Structure 1
Amino acid sequence: MRARRSTPRSARRPAQALAGLLLASALALAGCSAGADDTDGGSSADKAAAPGAEAQEGAADSGRASGSKATTPPKISASHIIRTASLTVQVKDVPKALDAARTTTENAGGYVGDETTTRDEEGSEETRVVLRVPVEQYDDVLADLEGTGKLLKRTAKAQDVTDQVVDVDSRVKSQRASVARIRELMDQATKLSDVVTLEGELSSREADLESLLAQQASLKDRTSMATITLSLSETPVKKAEKKDEDPGFVDALAGGWDAFVTMLRWIAVAFGAVLPFVGGAALLVLAWLRLVRPWLARRAEPNRNEQN
């Protein structure tokens, strides 16, 4: 009998390790193929169920679309308009008209702003008040205020700021995204110098964002609320004319005295007007009597002697 060869242990160990490696590889391949089959099966099932679901969803969407088209009209892009008006109205009673204007404004959902009241030397009162009303009630409130008295002056303006509103809204959105990016970079920064630089940039961008938000709020307020400046003045009251009464003795005496004084005044005026001419004539007469007449007399005397 032949004797068996005995395989050394050092030769059997590599073979066992290789067999174990092959077995693990086979199991891994089997698991991957099973997972792939499950995935394919699930995806195929989803694909199989998808057409029906997509058809139902498409039908529902088409039904909603057709219903919305049938019931709601197409939306028109809203415009942003700033509306302002100025009214000057003459009324009999300024405080009463002012109370009526306040009531009209508050009933329309608005409020009363600045108010100034003045009174002239004759006692007439004048009030200037600024009213803010919703744009939807602007025309109605304006018509009510015009009917409080006699309309003296009216001006109305409309400024379209739609482009400005859209631009500011877009800049606000971009600035918010920029601030968010800076904050993310600050969270990721590790160096102190980077943190300091990012904090300065964040402060600058937050300041710009606050300025844009203020512009946005101002535009929203001016486009949603119209401004009406109302000036109220009192109607001038005509003074009552005195009734003519029969004159009495005192009235006659006073009238006669006034007439006498008036006559003296006119005489004095006439005398004052004639006095220069009288003075000139008197001087001429005096010169004639004192100078010219004696000279003529002396000249005529030799002629008489010669004739004799």
Structure 2
Amino acid sequence: MRAARTRTTAAVLLTASLVLTGCGAGAADTAADSKGGGVAAAKPADGAARDGAPEGAADSAPGAAGKPAPKTPVQQHVIRTATLSVEVKDAAKALAAARRAATDAGGRVENETTERVEDSRLTSRIVLRVPQERYDSVLAELAGAGKLLDRSASAKDVTDQVVDVESRIATQRASVARVRKLMDRAEKLSDVVTLEGELSRRQADLEALLAQQDALRDRTTLATITLRLVEPDKQSAEEREEGRPGFGEALGGGWDALVGAAAWIGIVLTALAPWLAVALIVFVLWRRLIRPFLAARRPGAAAPAPVLPDVPRNAAGAPVAAEPAPESPAAPRPRKAPEK
């Protein structure tokens, strides 16, 4: 008798594990009804059964004041985000003020980035998380820190998603509890192994749902504000109005133009260098070798004219006879022969 009872229990456990594996999705779909309206309807049904009244009488029965009981309002869950850019004189001071505003409101600083632009001004980007009830006041304080450049805000209602996740969590917890009860009654090792695998899978699904619920709670509890702080240019207002550059900018522009022109000239000369070298070699060969060779082989070439000495001329252009050179006093004169 005891052996038959043991076999019957093992068969029931195996059948239940197969049913739980195949019908887990169906249990998740019906959990919302069992959590919201099912539990509320079960109490009137039990009370009606105890009083001997039909089930429909509990739903149609008026309240103490002759009116139906009011429904409990569903809490609304909204994700709020905002992005704004503000021009300030000192980005470091404005950044410290933004951190202080978020901390005083009960929020925190998510991340922060600061960089220097053109070695003359700072830009900062900071992400703040503040409670929903202080969202508007903190946003107005940050926008009034300087000159507002741009601003954008959005709100997303995720009430349905939050309710769905809560319902699935309740269903998954009930499913885990059922598998644990089956494990307590299991006697065979194979049944225990099968149920442990099923329990591990369902616990993993439950942990994923819990993580999703925490993320939704964080996003709906704390609003996200992304603030960008920029410093103005150092250029004076008069120069911006007149539209003329300063002496430093003019000098820098002239130097850049000179460097650019020199660079282009160097590029052109570099490109022409091979051609100029070939032209120079051809000119030297023509002047030194080819031209004299052609002149020597030309037929009937006239002899070069003798070079005449320069003849002195007077004012009228007539040639002037050259005076005889004076005799040297040291030269002896020839003696005449005596006459006979």
Taking structure 2 as the reference length, what is the TM-score of the superposition?
A: 0.49
Offset, 1:237: 2.2
Please tell me the residue identity of whatever aligns with 1:101.
A
Write the letter of the residue equivalent to 2:234: V
Post-superposition shift, 1:235? 1.6
**How many residues are paired up?**
175
1:36-80 CA distances to partner (integer Å, 9 max, x unpaired)?
Answer: xxxxxxxxxxxxxxxxxxxxxxxxx96xx9xxx9xxx99643211
Shift of residue 121 of structure 1? 1.9
Secondary structure of the structure 2 residue equivalent to 1:109: coil
Partner of 1:226: 223
| Residues 1:140 and 2:141 aligned together | no
| 1-structure distance, mates of 2:158, 2:181 | 35
Over 3 Å counting, the alpha-carbon distance change for 1:186 and 1:161 in structure 2 is same
Tell me the percent identity: 61
Show CA shifts across 1:238-284 (max 9, x none).
24989xxxxxxxxxxxxxxxxxxxxxxxxxxxxxxxxxxxxxxxxxx
Within a 5 Å distance, the mapping from 1:185-224 to structure 2 comes to 185-224=182-221
Aligned residue in 2 for 1:111: 108
SS of match in other structure, 2:128: strand
Query: What do you get for the CA RMSD once the two structures are aligned?
Result: 2.4
Amino acid at match of 2:206: L
Instruction: Give the AA of the match of 2:133.
Output: E
Amino acid at match of 1:180: A
Alignment-derived partner of residue 235 in structure 1: 232
Would the alpha carbon gap of residues 81 and 100 (structure 1) be closer, same or farther in structure 2, given more than 3 Å must change?
same
- 1:92 is displaced (CA, Å) by 0.2
The equivalent of 1:290 in structure 2 is none
| TM-score of the aligned structures, taking structure 1 as reference length | 0.54
* Structure 2, gaps ≥5 residues long: 1-62, 240-340
Alpha-carbon separation, structure 2, partners of 1:182 and 1:75: 33
Q: Which residue of the other structure, out of 172, 179, 182, is the alignment partner of 2:179?
A: 182
Structure 1 residue matching 2:145: 3-state secondary structure: coil
Query: Residues 83 and 240 of structure 1: is their aligned pair in 2 closer, same or farther, counting only changes over 3 Å?
Result: closer
Counterpart-to-counterpart distance in 1, 2:146 and 2:180: 61
Q: In the TM superposition, what are the counterparts of 1:91-106 in structure 2 within 5 Å?
A: 91-106=88-103
Aligned to 1:4: none
Distance 1:155 1:199, change over 3 A: same
Counterpart check, 1:126 vs 2:123: yes
Deviation at 1:176, TM superposition (A): 0.4
Contact 2:173 2:206 in 1 (8 A): yes
Secondary structure of the residue aligned to 2:106 is: coil
- Work out the CA distance in 1 between the residues paired with 2:97 and 2:193: 60
Q: Distance in 2 between matches of 1:152 and 1:241?
A: 22
Structure 1 residue 122 displacement after superposition:
3.2
Q: Is the 8 A contact 2:120 2:234 kept in 1?
A: no
Deviation of 1:227 after TM superposition, in Å, equals: 0.2
Counterparts of 1:218 and 1:122, CA distance in 2: 40
What residue identity is the alignment partner of 1:193?
A: S
The corresponding residue for 1:79 is 76
Report the Cα offset of residue 87 of structure 1: 0.7
Provide the rounded CA distance (Å) in 1 between the counterparts of 2:176 and 2:74.
30
